[in-house]
Amino acid sequence: MTLLAVERIKLFSTRSPWWCMALALGLMVGFAALVSASASNAGELSVPMSQFGFTFALAVILVLATLSVTTEYRFNTIRTTFQAVPSRTSALLAKTTVVAFVSGVLGLIAAFGSVGIAMLIQPDANLALNSEADWRQVAGTGLITFFAAVVAISAGILIRHTAGAVSLLLAYSLVAENLVQLIPSIGRDIHQWLPFNVANRFLTGNPDLAQVVDGPGSSTSTLAPWAALAYFAGFAIVMLVIAIVTAKKRDA
């Protein structure tokens, strides 16, 4: 518990996490307000449409999680942490737990806040969470941001440089996965198993790209939604294990 308290203090004692949290929340709720205000009538608005800003908020959360690690490497405070805590595994797991929990709660607040602002702007719209798919689309955002933060922390531990880690994560999650589909013959098959594409499968629950789905991008994955979440969680855990093993073998 002491390690968790220390990591909580370190996370909230600097300005960048606060700015990132405010930006992620503002982007997701702001896009929901924009989409709701732009709808010509209440019938056009749906629960998935209220989550239109998820991709942008996720990008900011990835930056937040990465900075929580790379900032320590930049200012060499990670060296002090490893000297104070005999087990690097414990220290890194504590950091991961705190940052991932904060990211998950932030994603949850942003998702429900988006639905809330949409209801305020379009009170006659059908935005009630009446199905498992609706609940997964909104409440499931917290689970995806939780595990996405684990992936970002792992990348930060492995790369250690803010610019490199942030650039890699954003380029991969926003651009590279979609570009894989352009590879002749095997591109679409590979894309089905890429982690952020699979994460969208959990949220949208619909692999049929012929159907218009607003909010988080439609997924080409054919996994069942909860199997998709398990896959994404497994990927995050594997990344974290690799990062911790690497951190233990090299100098701080």
Question: pLDDT for 2-31, tens place per residue?
Answer: 888 888 888 898 899 999 999 999 999 999
| Distance, CA of 229 to CA of 140 (rounded, Å) | 9
Range of the structural domain that residue 132 is part of: 2-249
Question: pLDDT exceeding 90 applies to what percent of the chain?
Answer: 61
What digits encode the pLDDT tens for the residues 23-58? 999 999 999 999 988 877 777 788 888 899 999 999
**What is the separation, in whole angstroms, between the first and last Cα of the chain?**
23
- pLDDT(214) > 60: no
| Distance, CA of 169 to CA of 58 (rounded, Å) | 11
pLDDT at 209: 42
Give Cα 247 to chain centroid, integer Å: 23
- pLDDT(216) > 80: no
Tokens (6 digits) for 176: 């590279």
What digits encode the pLDDT tens for the residues 154-190? 999 999 999 999 999 999 999 999 899 899 889 889 9
CA 71, 77, 79, 80 torsion-angle sign: negative
Angle at 140 between CA 137 and CA 141, to 5 degrees: 85
DSSP 172: I
**Band (108; pLDDT cuts 50, 70, 90):** very high
The length of the chain, given as a count of residues: 252
- pLDDT(210) > 60: no
Residue pair 109/57 in contact (Cβ under 8 Å)? The answer is no
| Distance, CA of 238 to CA of 81 (rounded, Å) | 23
Tokens (6 digits) for 88: 């690097």
- How confident is the model over 77-100, as a mean pLDDT? 89
Tokens (6 digits) for 169: 């994560």
pTM summary value: 0.91
Q: Which of 35-39, 88-92, 147-151 has the lowest mean pLDDT?
A: 35-39
Structural domain count, the chain: 1
Residue pair 52/32 in contact (Cβ under 8 Å)? The answer is yes
Q: Which of 173, 162, 148 is nearest to 235 (CA)?
A: 148
| C-alpha pair distances (Å), 38 with each of 32, 34, 53, 116 | 10, 6, 14, 16
